Amino acid sequence: MIYADNAATTKTSRAAIDAMLPCFDTVYGNPSGLYAFAQQAKEALEDARARIARCLGCDAREVTFTSGGSESDNQAILSAAKAGAAKGKKHIISTAFEHHAVLHTLKKLEADGFEVTLLDVHENGIVTPQQVADAIRGDTALVTVMFANNEIGTVQPIRAIGAVCREKGVPFHTDAVQAVGHIPVNVREDNIDYLSLSAHKFHGPRGIGVLVARKGMRLYSLIEGGAQERGKRAGTENLPAILGMAAALEEAVQNMETNAAKVGAMRERLIEGLAEIPHCVLNGDRNERLPGNVNFCFEGIEGESLLLLLDDKGVAASSGSACTSGSLDPSHVLLAIGRPHEIAHGSLRLTLCEENTPAEVERIIDAVREVVAYLRGMSPVWRDLVNGKTPFVIP
Amino acid sequence: MALYSEKVMDHFRNPRNVGVIEDADGVGEVGNAKCGDIMKIYLKIGGGVITDVKFETFGCGSAIASSSMATEMIKGKPLADALTLTNKAVTEALDGLPAHKLHCSVLAEEAIKAAVKDYYDRNGIEYDPSQFPDCGSCAHCCV
């Protein structure tokens, strides 16, 4: 199998597994205990926190462990909203193509009387600092813009957006789930107030993540029941996962340049190879994108059947078609960049990592070409396009 | 558990009766590209019997499998059988479909009926219009 769905999740690295294993049967104390054995676990916990903080360019006290990106997004947004509301500020700025962990939380806040402005992300999938500056009002409680998009991989000008927010005194959250471990992310230098990340996107284990809240930023607990994480997140710490995450993050950060160069080169070849298929379009900016992300729409076919046939050919990928999303509408990300419904249904996301090889990329290109041609051969939509009965949307 | 039954995967991987009948006696097309499914059925009819049937589908795995199975179920059968083919029968023949995919079997039923209706219209054969629900009667679509 060629695994090309690394934006969904990644293989846990050897370093992460090795860091986790002792926690199950050797350092298994509860960090809250007072005896030496428990304190050994506490030390491991705080050591991991410090190492993670170093990787992110923040203070260890600013790191809160959560169950992952979704929880971090929820907690950051709800905390900033509550803090804002206390000062009479009930306006939040975000973008149209955020992850649902952000969008659904914002929907909930709208029902509670908040006003939400979702910025346009343009056809290239990038929001500008100027848009953010123009949208900020006196009652803006929070700006939340993702670092890199999970579907089309576009990287946002986070540092400049953070600078705008800092200047206007508005808290700034970024969902950095797809960015951390893949491209440089530095909480301090990038002017970030709240940051969400998830370990399993960079070869760490699942079910663990971080919420960074810069000193002075309010954090309200979503889960009550204990004093863990300075009372900001109750529940016995998931020490194995935390140690696995620390190991994976350090490894990813250490090898970032090498990996990005290798993965980026494969991405370029993949884009070049797929672009030769007639009537297809790359989704998201050509350059400002994650090293491993490739996302295309192919006119005249539907994404789910494309994925199933690619699976038969040994390629694991994903799509933004309605059939794969479990809803009736195709991906909100593709709609946000202006792709019409019928085009968005025919999308394919391939996300590579450093374990993929150039030979695999060639096999992916061949497989996609064959499957697209085959499905077009049985598509009445394609027939109408080819016969000139309906105009092509993608030239 | 796999997403689809083996029957569905078989008809999806090796669809029967894919193609076009250039001199078809009846053609039916249902669905909407905006919703992600379009099915087109071509019928060749002789002596009240469906002598040949072909389909083209733009859609997900279950849409392709439903088209394939539905064409198999009416090929060589009297025209009346095509009108009594239900989406339930198609679904059962496929050993079931996931709940959110049942609509694909509805499309197959409707596409076949639309093709029969086209045949009736072309030949001035009278029929009861209520036998032929149109695409708009289905609440599935996003349009």
Reply yes or no on whether the pLDDT at A325 is more than 80.
Answer: no
Average pLDDT over residues A20-43: 97
For an interface test with B, which of A327, A339, A378 has the most B Cβ atoms less than 10 Å from its Cβ? A378
Of the candidates A279, A294, A283, A282, which has an alpha carbon nearest to the alpha carbon of residue A372? Answer: A279
A149-171 confidence digits (pLDDT tens): 999 999 999 999 999 999 999 99
Reply yes or no on whether the pLDDT at A17 is more than 60.
Answer: yes
Residue with tokens 């290109």: A365
B8-32 confidence digits (pLDDT tens): 999 999 999 999 999 999 999 999 8
What residues of A are in the B interface, CB distance below 8 Å? Answer: 300-305, 308-309, 312, 321-323, 326, 328-330, 340-342, 345, 377-383
Contact A254, A267 (CB under 8 A): no
A235-261 confidence digits (pLDDT tens): 999 999 999 999 999 999 999 999 999
In CATH terms, the fold of domain A256-386 is Aspartate Aminotransferase, domain 1 (3.90.1150)
Q: Assess if CATH 3.30.420.280 describes domain A14-254.
A: no
Report chain B residues whose CB lies below 8 A from the CB of A323: 36, 59-61, 101
Average pLDDT over residues B41-52: 97
CATH architecture of B6-123: Alpha-Beta Complex (3.90)
pLDDT-wise least confident of A100-104, A208-212, B33-37: B33-37
Report chain B's C-alpha Rg in angstroms.
Answer: 14
Q: What is the pLDDT of residue B139?
A: 54
Average pLDDT over residues A190-206: 98
Reply yes or no on whether the pLDDT at B129 is more than 90.
Answer: no
Q: What is the pLDDT of residue B34?
A: 83
Residue of higher predicted confidence among B136 and A276:
A276
Residue of higher predicted confidence among B88 and B131:
B88
Q: Does B129 touch chain A (CB under 8 A)?
A: no
Q: At B142, is the pLDDT very low, low, confident or very high (cuts 50, 70, 90)?
A: very low
Reply yes or no on whether the pLDDT at A201 is more than 80.
Answer: yes
Q: What is the pLDDT of residue B143?
A: 41
* For chain A, domain boundaries: 14-254, 256-386
3-state secondary structure chain A: CEECECCCCCCCCHHHHHHHHHHHHCCCCCCCCCCHHHHHHHHHHHHHHHHHHHHHCCCHHHEEEECCHHHHHHHHHHHHHHHHHHCCCCEEEEECCCCHHHHHHHHHHHHCCCEEEEECCCCCCCCCHHHHHHHCCCCEEEEECCCECCCCCEECCHHHHHHHHHHHCCCEEEECCCCCCCCCCCCCCCCCCEEEEEHHHHCCCCCCEEEEECCCCCCCCCCCCCCHHHHCCCCCCCHHHHHHHHHHHHHHHHCHHHHHHHHHHHHHHHHHHHHCCCCEEECCCCCCECCCEEEEEECCCCHHHHHHHHHHCCEECECCCHHHHCCCCCCHHHHHCCCCHHHHCCEEEEECCCCCCHHHHHHHHHHHHHHHHHHHHCCHHHHHHHCCCCCCCCC
CA distance A171 to A161: 11
Of the residues B35, B60, B138, B141, only one is catalytic, namely B35
Are the folds of A14-254 and A256-386 the same?
no
Total-model pTM: 0.94
Q: At A189, is the pLDDT very low, low, confident or very high (cuts 50, 70, 90)?
A: very high
Q: What is the pLDDT of residue A53?
A: 98
* For chain B, domain boundaries: 6-123
Average pLDDT over residues A3-11: 97
Burial (CB count <10 Å: 0-12, 13-18, 19+), residue B96:
middle
ipTM of this model? 0.92
Q: At B131, is the pLDDT very low, low, confident or very high (cuts 50, 70, 90)?
A: confident
